[in-house]
Structure 1
Amino acid sequence: MIITVTPNPSIDRTLEIPSLALGEVNRADHSRVDAGGKGINVSRALAAHGTGSVAVYPRGGNDGRLLDSLLSRVEGVRAVAVPVRQDTRSNLTIAHDGGSTTKLNAPGPVVEAAELEALTASVLRAVDEAAAAGPSTATVVACGSLPPGVGTDYYARLAEAVTAAGARFVLDTSGEALSQTIVDTVAQIWLIKPNLEELSELVNRPLVTVADVVTAVKLLGCVDNALVSLGSLGALLVSRRGVWLAQGEPIVARSSVGAGDSMLAGFLHAVGDPVSGAEPDFAEALKSAAAWGQAAVRQPGTAVPRPGDVEREVTTIVENPDRSLRLAQ
C-alpha cells in the first residue's frame, strides 16, 4: 500500500493563455480546476493507472470540501481528510508562451499542533491497516511544502514514526524542510526525489556530472536511494546497488506543473508493494518514472497522465553511465 501525505494541499486553478503580458488584460483560452499538492498528485497519477493509494491531508473550508469531492468522486482516490480550522489554499497556474508556466502559490492555512498530531495519527493508522492486510511493506510518501505553523523538523519526526511502524519512507520536498530532515532524522529514508538544483542546494556544491551527483547522494548517509530529475535531460537514479540514467526524446511541453509528482508515481507504480526483503527492478522503475514524467508535461495544468499517454518505448535506460557525463552547463 502506498500512503501519500500532503501537509499543504491545494485547489489548483489553471489558465492557458497564448502569452503573458504583465500589467495588461490577459484572456484565457482554457481553464481547469484540479486537486493539488505534491502527494495528492502522486495519488492521482497512481489511481489513473489502477494502483491504489491512500491520500492523507489536512482539509478546511469550502476549498477543502471541493478537494475531497475532486479526489473521491472525480479521481477515484481514497482520501483521508483531517479537519483543520483554517481554509485549504488555492493556487493559480498560468500556462503561456509555448509551455512556460507561471505559478502563484498561496502560503496555506496555519496548522495547529493538535491538527498536526491528528494528521500523523491518520498516517500511522493507514500503515497499521496496510500491515493487517498482507505481508507487503507499506510505503509512506511525504511530499511538498509545510504549511504555516509546522516546524521544518516535521518530516524527520514523521520518518521516525512510520519507519518504527514498519513502513518505508519516501520524501519529496525541498529547501529547509529537506535539509532539516536529512540533518535531524535518525530513521533511514528509502527514497528522496530532488531535482538537480535542489540536490545541489542540499549538499551546498555545484553538481555538473554524473560523478558529482553520485558523490552528493553518498554524503546523505540516511538516504538509501535518490531519484534525481534532470528536466529535459531525463532522470538519474542513484542507489546503493548502482546508478541508472534515463533519457528520452525531446518533447514540446504544455505544462511542467506536477511532472515530478507523476515521475515519482511512475517509479512507485513499477516498484509495487514488494514483500519485505525483495529487491525491486530499479531499471524498469526508472524507465516507468521517466515515461510518466514525459507524459505529464504534455498534459494541461496539473492533469495527470493516463495509461494511453505514456510512451515507455521512447525512454532509454543506461546502467552505470559514464561518470564524466555532464548534466548541467
Structure 2
Amino acid sequence: MRYFLLLVFILTGCQGGYYTGPVSDHFDGKKFYYPGEREKPRSFTRDIYNIWTAVFQPLWYLPKDVKPYSICPSQIKGIKISFINHSTVLIQSKKINVLLDPIYAYRASPFSWIGPARAHKPGIHFQNLPKIDVVLISHNHYDHMDVSTLKRLDKAFHPLFIVPLGNKIFLKRFAIKNVKELDWWQEIKIKNTSIHFLPAHHSTQRWLHDYNYTLWGSYGLQMGDKKIYYAGDTGYANHFKMIRQHWGRPDFALIPIGAYKPRSLLRVNHIDPFEAVKCHLELGSRLSMGIHWGTFKLSEESVNQPAKDLILAREKLGVSPKAFILPTENFFKP
C-alpha cells in the first residue's frame, strides 16, 4: 500500500502553474529552459531512474561519522565559509550570515520513510547555527529545497528566503512569508552584501507533472571587495564564461562534483569532477571547493568516488590541490 500511495503521490502531485510573467530568452510563458535549448520531450528512462533512485537506492555507510564544528559565532571578522553537508554551506561576514540550500532532514525526499538517506550528520548541528539572516535556494529539487528545514529556519530566525522565479508558492503553503523571488541577472542588496542570481544549466521538478515550471540558477555574493560564487546544481555549458564576463572572477567558488553517474542520464544536469575543474578554470576562480557529494546517494558512484575523480581531474588539467580543495578530506580518505 505504501508503494501504491507513493506512485499516486508522485504522478499527481499538486496541480496548477507556479509562475506567470513575460516571455524571455529562458521562459516561454509556461516553462523555463536554458537559452537556445527549447525543452525536449521528457525522458521516460530518466523518470523511471528518478523513481528507482528515490525508492531502491542502498544506503552509504561510512567508517565513522563526521565530527561537527563547534558553535558558530554570530559575528566574525572578515569572511568565513563553513561546509555543512551536501550543498549546504554557511557564509559569514561581520554583518550577515547566509545559508545556502540548507537540508537537515534525514532523507532528501518528500517522504520521511523512503528515499535517499544521509550517510552522516550535518557538520554544524542545527542548534549550533548562528542567527541566519538570509537563506538562498538554487532550485526546488528535494536535496536543495527541503521544506522541513526551511520551516525550522523560519521559526528559529525568520530570515529572508531568496528563491528562483516560481518557487515562492511552495514556501507560502507552509506560512513562510518573508520570501523574495529573483530572475537570472537580478540583484538584491542586504546589509553589506550584494546577492546576484545567475544562470545554471539544470532543471526543476517536484512531481512528474511540473517539469521546469520553476526557475533554477546559481548565486554570486559580493561581500565588500570579495566575490563568492555558488554554482548550485548544473551541467556543463557556456554560462560559466558568461558569468566571468558579466559578473567577474570569484575569489571563492563552490562547485558541485557529485551525482554524475551514469553520464548518459546525468550529464545534462550534473557536471562530473573533470568538468568541475574546467568550470573552475573558466570562471577564473582564485580558490574553489567541491560540494554536492558524500551525503546522499543520488546516483551510481560510490561515496568517495567524486573525491578520487577530482584528484585525477586536477592532475590532468594542471590545477593545484590548493586551488581546488575538498571540504571533507579529513573525513573521506580517497
- TM-score by shorter chain over 0.5: no
Q: Select the structure that is richer in strand.
A: 1
Could you say which structure has the greater relative contact order, defined with CA pairs below 8 angstroms and 6 or more residues apart?
1
What TM-score results when the alignment is normalised by the length of structure 1?
A: 0.31
Q: Higher helix proportion, which one?
A: 1
**TM-score, structure 2 length as denominator?**
0.30
